[in-house]
Amino acid sequence: MSSTANTLSQTDLEASSPATWREYLAISKTGIVMSNLITTFAGLYLAAYYTGTTLGSDPLTAFLALLGSALVMAGGCALNNYIDRDIDHIMERTKERPTVTGKLTGKQTLTYGLSISIAGTAFLAMTTLMAAVIGVLGLIIYVVLYSMWTKRTTTLNTIVGSFAGAVPPLIGWAAIDAGLHPYAWSLFLIMFIWQPPHFLALAMKRSDEYKAAGIPMLPVVAGFAITKRQIIWYVAALIPVSLLVADFGTVYTTVAVLLGGGWLGLGLIGLKTKDDLKWAKHMFIYSLNYLTIMFVLMVIVHMF
């Protein structure tokens, strides 16, 4: 029997000790959930603003939208852990997951992921049906189309995953305004274009691990040179896309141009750098700061 099969068997059949809430939090990927909740809140706040209301006038809707979004996202992450438990032991960043160490069995992980996904969808449905539908579509894309299919078959997996990763602001907006103002779709598009350079930079950092796990990320299949050019093109495209909501004001527009230009400049440095991994690390960190600043700023400029 192969070592992979042995690892999977051990994970599924014998938890080394009773699972605690910490293990469930670990497979929920709370860092990713919290980051995405920033964009969900931005969608909520802006939808309230442009429909002439406030979140304070209906705090229950805001609470249900955030809670429902968090549970659906956490559920998707848990299901991703369930699907990847046969290869996670190969990668340094995933080898300590409870699904690998045996703290959680496959059955526990699957049950948890499905349960909180269903609960989250129910909470979203208490806001608007549209919010629940978008949440379910994002979940299906992430779990089925990305985790179960394209992640292990094509370099386009990053694009497929980006569709799922871009829905949080749409969910937030739909919880208030099921009609989805064009601004909502602009937020979706910003998130969609942001994700490839973010995850391709991560893939460069972890290319050896992805190669060992047999995952066809672009740096593994096509090399660093092509990946760097792809990252630069996406960052360049993000600048005009971020200006689709230039109506948010001068402060937003100025910061969007400066942040996007700074990211593009850092990207262009990568064409001549000799330390690709260091460059990828800097690009990855910049992408995280970019997303946080942009979506927090969207809220702030509408407060005054």
Q: What is the pLDDT of residue 47?
A: 97
Residue 8: pLDDT above 80? no
Q: Which residue type sits at 100?
A: V
Least confident of 85-94, 142-151, 158-167, 251-260: 85-94
* Weakest mean pLDDT among 6-10, 194-198, 288-292: 6-10
The pLDDT value given to residue 4: 44
pLDDT tens digits, one per residue of 114-149: 999 999 999 999 999 999 999 999 999 999 999 999
Supply the CATH classification number for the domain 183-304: 1.20.120
Instruction: Report the pLDDT value the prediction gives residue 15, as an integer from 0 to 100.
Output: 47
Query: With respect to CATH, is domain 1-180 assigned 1.10.357.140?
Result: yes
What number is the average pLDDT over the span 103-124? 95
Mean of pLDDT values over 83-95? 87
Q: Name the band, by pLDDT with cuts 50, 70 and 90, for residue 71.
A: very high
Instruction: Report, as an integer, the average pLDDT of 161-165.
Output: 95
CB neighbours (10 Å) of residue 164?
Answer: 23
Between residues 304 and 150, the one the model is more confident about: 150
Nearest to 165 by CA among 178, 183, 147, 180: 147
CA distances from 182 to 93, 186, 245 (A): 38, 6, 9
Q: Averaged over 70-80, what is the pLDDT? A: 96
For 246-298, the pLDDT digits (tens) are: 999 999 999 999 999 999 999 999 999 989 999 999 999 999 999 999 999 99
How far is residue 199 from each of residues 63, 179, 283, measured CA to CA in Å?
30, 31, 10
For the record, the structure tokens of 20 come out as 């605690």
> Are 195 and 165 in contact, with CB atoms under 8 Å apart?
yes
Per-residue pLDDT band for 1 (boundaries 50, 70, 90) equals very low
pLDDT at 157 over 80: yes
Q: Contact 189/163 with Cβ under 8 angstroms?
A: no
Q: How sure is the predictor about 225, in pLDDT bands with cuts at 50, 70 and 90?
A: very high
Q: Indicate the pLDDT class of residue 17, thresholds 50, 70 and 90.
A: low
d(CA 251, CA 144): 40
User: In the 3-class helix/strand/coil scheme, how is the chain assigned residue by residue?
Assistant: CCHHHHHHHHHHHCCCCCCCHHHHHHHHCHHHHHHHHHHHHHHHHHHHHHCCCCHHHCHHHHHHHHHHHHHHHHHHHHHHHHHHHHCHHHCCCCCCCHHHHCCCCHHHHHHHHHHHHHHHHHHHHCCCHHHHHHHHHHHHHHHHHHHHHHHHCCCCHHHHHHHHHCCHHHHHHHHHCCCCCHHHHHHHHHHHHHHHHHHHHHHHHCHHHHHHHCCCCHHHHHCHHHHHHHHHHHHHHHHHHHHHHHHHCHHHHHHHHHHHHHHHHHHHHCCCCCCHHHHHHHHHHHHHHHHHHHHHHHHHCCCC
Say if CB 202 and CB 169 are below 8 A apart.
no
Name the residue ranges covered by the structural domains of the chain. Answer: 1-180, 183-304
Residue 2 has pLDDT above 80, yes or no: no
**% pLDDT > 90, the chain:** 85
Give the Cα separation of 253 and 11 in Å (integer).
50
Q: What is the mean pLDDT of the chain?
A: 92
The number of CA neighbours under 13 Å toward the Cβ of 238 is 31
